[in-house]
Amino acid sequence: MLRISPTDTPPAPMAAGQGWPLFSTAATRQIERDCARRLPPHQLMERAGLAIAKLALAIAPHAQRIWIACGPGNNGGDGFEAAAQLKAMLPHAQITVSEVRTPAELPSDAQISRDKARQAGVQWLHDAPVDLGSQDLCIDALLGIGLSPRPLDKASAAELRLLQLLAQVRQCACSVLCVDLASGLDADTGQYLREFAPGHIAARQARHTLALLTLQPGLFTGQGRDACGQIWWDDLGCGIAGTPGTTNPAAARPTAHLNTRSSASSSARPHDSHKGSFGDVAVLGGEGLGLRGLSMTGAAWLAALAALHAGAGRVMLALLDEALAQGIAPWPEIMLRRPAAQDWGQATVVCGCGGGEAVQAWLPHILSQAPQLVLDADALNAVAASPTLAQQLSQRAARQHGTVLTPHPLEAARLLETSTTQVQADRLQSCLQLARKFQCTVLLKGSGTVVANPRQQVWINASGNARLATGGTGDVLAGLIAALWAQDRSADMAAIEGAFRHGQLADRWPADRPFSASALAMRLGEQ
């Protein structure tokens, strides 16, 4: 059994930045069917139940009261099997089960495991209320990846019972262990379906999820990270599906990969090197007070500061308010430029950070000249508002000019001419759609940042936390990506590694040190 966290490294055959394979619901079911055919009858469910029981005891080693909510399908069958195993391991503990369907309505494997649980002495609650306050552990085996929503006004009695049990699971004060996936969550998108969206989850409820056979994208992006908590994974002895060098029973292809590490530190540099060995980064942004009375020069400074501390050989900053560019730089290593004086064809360019409306006039020139371009913030908004700029952006790839877009969900919605809700409803597909539309690498920010390219390759970032939900951290990320790209990473790898290092710093942030975007930028060199 494996605990998935931002410090886990993928199996040896996986290349850095490639990461753990993530499979869609359809592919996971295909793999499950193939594994079940290769094993003796019922053995796959027995392995699943044993894995759940072992993890339950690891999470709550002194538990004496465990409640298992079992759903109408094989996820519920795994719960019944776990109940039988737990009763054998803890003969004096109170193991109780609530179920959704009658035995005759269950799949055959689930019926067998239900009978085993009854014979082992597991208690059934039937319609009796659960004593939520006295449980030491709750196991959510209601839905897993077997989500099949129906309008509530057409729901059967069993479906209404399922919703009732799911509400009780969310009200438990004890730790919750979800089987496969937090019930109600879409395994492919990481979003709750409307019918199953939580109205309330108990405060401080520790949540764990045991993914069986495969890992799915929904565990790691959107609402998945909060819903599923600590992720554990057990391939049930069937091999790591999709990993090179191992058996992939159903020959299913991963939908995405989870990146849980960065490559070697940029501090390991050859002795015989100089500043020209590590590339130039030029930042264009920072609308001043003169245009609209809304100064955003700090955003451009943050991007430049991040590029400096991430190891770029030289960093130039061209502020869109030229009056400010005549002052003394707070960081003398960052060279100030007038936009017209900078050679935009000889650097990795970051454009848009704090650019406001002033950046629009410069975008045609930047899009035509920059060989490697990170577009962020107001540059993205300007492209979204101009079909001419959008066409110019999409044509860069044909000239062998590389581009990385770094939108947050609202900026992505503007670029796709849709809503933030639609973008968040399927973050992977939204990111892929942007990558195809503009023929470039796209990094969609948010919980479980997504990176995609036009070749339909997708990565989800495993690092990061809510510390990053503060102004300026996106500008730091843009500068970091540019610095990595300038140091000979590919566009994809610069985005993937940049997202991971950015989040990793937030994960490792000392509890006694105030967090800010500028502090984050200055710590990039410590990794």
Q: 288 labelled as ligand-binding?
A: no
Q: 352 labelled as ligand-binding?
A: yes
Whether 318 contacts 339, CB under 8 Å: yes
The alpha carbons of the chain give a radius of gyration, in whole angstroms, of: 26
C-alpha distance from residue 469 to each of 189, 455, 515 (Å): 21, 30, 11
Max Cα-Cα span within the chain: 83
Summarize the chain as % helix, strand, coil (round to 5): 40, 15, 40
Q: Which of 77, 494, 92, 472 is nearest to 262 (CA)?
A: 494
C-alpha distance from residue 319 to each of 34, 297, 329, 526 (Å): 59, 7, 11, 27
Interaxial angle between packed helices 43-59 and 25-38, expressed in degrees from 0 to 180 and rounded to the nearest 10: 120
Provide the 3-class DSSP secondary structure of residue 509: coil
Kindly tell me the sign of the dihedral angle through the C-alpha atoms of 115, 121, 126, 132: negative
Phi then psi for residue 265, to 5 deg, are -60, 145
Whether 75 contacts 144, CB under 8 Å: yes
Q: 446 labelled as ligand-binding?
A: yes
Provide the 3-class DSSP secondary structure of residue 225: helix
Q: Which residues contact 92 (CB under 8 A, 6 or more apart)?
A: 64
SS3 sequence of 147-173: CCCCCHHHCCHHHHHHHHHHHHHHHCC
Q: 312 labelled as ligand-binding?
A: no
φ/ψ bin of 331: left (φ > 0), alpha (ψ from -120 to 50), beta (otherwise)? beta
Q: Where are the beta strands (DSSP E) in 12-110?
A: 20-22, 65-70, 94-99
Q: 445 labelled as ligand-binding?
A: yes
Q: Rounded to an integer, what distance in angstroms lies between the CA atom of residue 147 and that of residue 25? A: 10
Q: 77 labelled as ligand-binding?
A: no
Q: Which of 16, 504, 519, 17 is nearest to 309 (CA)?
A: 519
Provide the 3-class DSSP secondary structure of residue 207: strand
Task: Write the single-letter amino acid at 297.
Answer: T
Task: Write the single-letter amino acid at 510.
Answer: P
DSSP state of 101: S
Q: 54 labelled as ligand-binding?
A: no
Q: 42 labelled as ligand-binding?
A: no
Binding residues for (6S)-NADPHX: 299, 352, 408, 475
Binding residues: 299, 352, 408, 445-449, 474-475
Binding residues for AMP: 445-449, 474
